Structure 1
Amino acid sequence: MTPDAVAIAAAVAGLPEVAGPHGGRIGEIATLLPGRRVAGVRVADGDVTVGVVLRYPATVAEAVSAIRGALGPLDRPVRVYVGDVAAPTTS
């Protein structure tokens, strides 16, 4: 069964380590669906790639672990691409 790109994007968006999706250097991390594009998730035959903007001060290792944990077991490897780090917000 093909993983659901919309469900993956929603699961990743809710993580405290993730500030938002990242589409890759030229927008290549995306899934095209009828009438819409899911940026930051590419579901391919051999793997799933998730592109994110990291929320400072989370580390890449923390983010990768959280993302893989949120997605649970899939029928293919999950690759995580960190495209940027969001500056800390002052409040």
Structure 2
Amino acid sequence: MTGPRLDPDVIAAAVRAAPGVADLHGGRFGEVATLLPGRRVTGVRVRPDEVTVSVVGRYPATVAEIGTDVRAAVGPLDRPVHVLVSDYAPATPDDPSS
């Protein structure tokens, strides 16, 4: 799929709402980003041949669960979606699994 679904802002919003995701992450050197006129969308890199999403995982989700959550949030695209779990958020006191 092409068009609005490849909008990095739309992808970022969908990924932030995924259950295993605490937030987006720019990568070690801020390299995971899409540059737009006058700004950047950190944590989502849209390229002609792939989409990369870098996230902060929400404990206790596993890397595999987070990858599944992110790909489900993004939905089917016309290119591969790579998911990087760059960090984990600590459990919060109100988290029933902690």
Is the structural similarity TM-score above 0.5?
yes
Q: 2:43 is matched with which residue?
A: 40
Out of 65, 70, 81, the position equivalent to 1:67 is: 70
> If the length of structure 2 is used for normalisation, what is the TM-score?
0.88
- 1:16 equivalent to 2:16? Answer no
Q: Distance in 2 between matches of 1:51 and 1:12?
A: 10
Moved over 6 A (4+): none
Give the letter for the 2:53 counterpart.
V
**SS of equivalent residue, structure 1 residue 6:** helix
| Percent of aligned pairs with the same amino acid | 60
Q: 1:7 aligns with which of 10, 13, 29?
A: 10
| Structure 1: runs of 5 or more not aligned | none
Q: TM-score, normalised by structure 1?
A: 0.95
Provide the alpha-carbon RMSD of the alignment: 1.0
SS in 2 for 1:52: strand
Q: Pick the structure with greater CA Rg.
A: 2
Structure 2: tracts of 5 or more residues without a match:
none
Distance 2:72 2:19 in 1: 13
- CA-CA distance at 1:46 after TM superposition: 1.2
